[in-house]
Amino acid sequence: MLPVVALVGRPNVGKSTLFNVLTRTRDALVHDLPGVTRDRHYGVCRLVEDRHFVVVDTGGLVDDAAGLDAQTARQAELAVEEADVVVLTVDARDGLLPTDRSILDRLRRAGKPTLLVVNKVDGLDEQVALAEFAALGLASVFGVSAAHGRGMGPLLDAIVAAL
């Protein structure tokens, strides 16, 4: 069985865009509206020779889960349970938000290896954009632009190393 990597984070940070880059498909719904991906969505990343892995796209984990958002949060939790590695995605343009911290708290309880992806660094000073996320205390932090396919090499290396 292939190892499993779950993409989690708030709605609209670019998880589905990242999923599309990793799986080289247009399958995941990318939408300007937050929370378009309501359940889990699977693909296979074959970008690293001999180290293929399953990628799970999830709807956004939100702080105050109610109604549809509760289902989305549940799907994300299931994805984390079945994951070997979790990629927490945050938005460089929004900066570090309280919801990012509470998602990370939940991930820490799950005890899975977790990488931090700071997405949407295009057009920003990457070092400045990354600086505030250091407060999360994660050792593996990657500035990327999923929309432009930038920063994928180091991220892929780290994912494969953590599998």
Chain residues in the site for Mg ion (CB under 5 A): 15-16, 37
Give which of ligand GDP, Mg ion, none residue 110 binds (C-beta under 5 to 8 Å, depending on kind): none
Instruction: Give residues with Cβ within 8 angstroms of 64, minimum separation 6.
Output: none
Which DSSP string corresponds to 84-135? SEEEEEEETTT---HHHHHHHHHHHHHT--EEEEEE--TTS-HHHHHHGGGG
Nearer to Mg ion, 15 or 120 (CB): 15
The piece of 6-14, 38-46, 102-110, 131-139 that touches ligand GDP (CB under 6 A) is: 6-14
- Does residue 151 bind ligand GDP (CB under 6 A)? no
Q: Interface residues with ligand GDP (CB under 6 A)?
A: 11-17, 30-32, 34, 36-37, 60, 119-120, 122, 145-147
